[in-house]
Amino acid sequence: MSANAAFDAVACSGAIVIVAVPATIPLLRRMHAVDVPSVRSSHSVPTPRGGGLPIAVGLLAAVAITRSGASAAFAAAVGFFAVLGFLDDLRGLPVFRRLALQATGSAVAAGLLIVPLHTAAVAAALLAVAAAAWITGLVNVFNFMDGVNGISGVHALIAGVAYACYAEWGGYPFLLAASLAVAVSALLFLPWNVGRARVFLGDAGSYSLGAALAVLAADAVLRGVPVEAVLGPLALYLADTTWTLQRRIRTGERWLQAHRTHVYQRWCDAGWSHQEVTLLTGAVTILLTLLGTVSLSRDLPARAAADLIGIAVLAAYVCSPALFRYLGLYGKPEPYRPGGPAQPGQQSHSALPGGSS
């Protein structure tokens, strides 16, 4: 792939986001794709959801220009999950039906990613199963974590930039172009979603970004990028979701029921604004990404030290609500009251697989 093709792909995806997002907002209102606040919401103003659909369209346009590497798997994953997410934004889908559809779409994308490797049948099957599970998992992780304004846009931006740097380091043209397209699309969506959000990513957006990054991460690992480097930009999202899920199962909660008890949400309950939560989680993710890049070197002691520091950072993050509770920082979150005073638009959250956000 030429440098001109990569530039054209990134520019095309960015242009689509710039033009389509403001045009999509009134259409979402007419289609009644509006997130109405509830007792589990983190926002108090009805806000259109599904605004991330132009991101998916832009990424598909970018991959149509590049047509190399893992482009087929990337296009299949982004396209399928964008449609599935948008359907969920419009009318909602039963949990297990949604999960079954997610697994099916992930299996197709995984097959398109693994088959070109021409590995032995057993190895290919195992890799395909692992890739499908990874794609399904990260799609849901991104959806679960998309609960405050700007958080998923910021993390997609960080991950896109990091993967683009790894692609430049390793000489992987498709990974470079697709990662930059993700980063630019996320960056250009942020003005519509930070502060007083005028539109939410919705399931269409969080699914698409999760699927895109899942395929790019898998492609990077298959091309030899160290696992720590690949997981660095995603580590906070993965740790928060895993920790919250195990805690809810361990305490006997109905873990498939919607909730707002992720670590970052408990920061909000401790009095932090959504902007502060987004900035701080973004800063932690940048730190984890930098620690992950140490694995690119051949210095094994430095790599081991960076891994241990990263684990310590994640442990401090997931344990931070206990510290807040010890310090008495938690206030009682104010419930949503219909007709009450409007607050800056902020995103909702559901723990259900593919829940609205």
| pLDDT profile of the chain (357 residues), mean per 10 | 80 96 94 74 75 96 88 96 95 90 97 92 95 97 92 97 95 94 97 89 96 97 96 97 91 78 88 90 98 94 97 96 76 40 38 40
Q: What is the pLDDT of residue 106?
A: 97
Q: Which domain holds residue 224?
A: 3-326
Q: Is residue 337 in some structural domain? A: no
How many domains does the structure of the chain reveal? 1
Q: What integer pLDDT is reported at residue 141 of this predicted model?
A: 96
What is the rounded CA–CA span in Å between residue 303 and residue 299? Answer: 6
User: What's residue 353's pLDDT?
Assistant: 40
Identify residue 55 by its one-letter amino acid code.
I
**The pLDDT of residue 330:** 58
At residue 344, the pLDDT reads 35
In what helix (H) or strand (E) does residue 35 lie, and over which residues does it extend? Answer: strand 34-35
Q: What pLDDT does residue 329 have?
A: 66
The reply to whether 194 falls in a domain is yes
Q: Which of 201, 256, 170 is nearest to 21 (CA)?
A: 201
Q: Is residue 357 part of a domain?
A: no
Q: Is residue 231 part of a domain?
A: yes
48 has which bridge partners? 34
For position 322, what pLDDT does the model report? 85
Q: Does residue 348 belong to any structural domain of this protein? A: no
pTM: 0.89
Residue 280, token pair as written in the block: 């701080």
Distance (Å, whole) CA 356 – CA 202: 6
Helix, strand or coil, per DSSP, at residue 200: strand
pLDDT for 288 equals 98
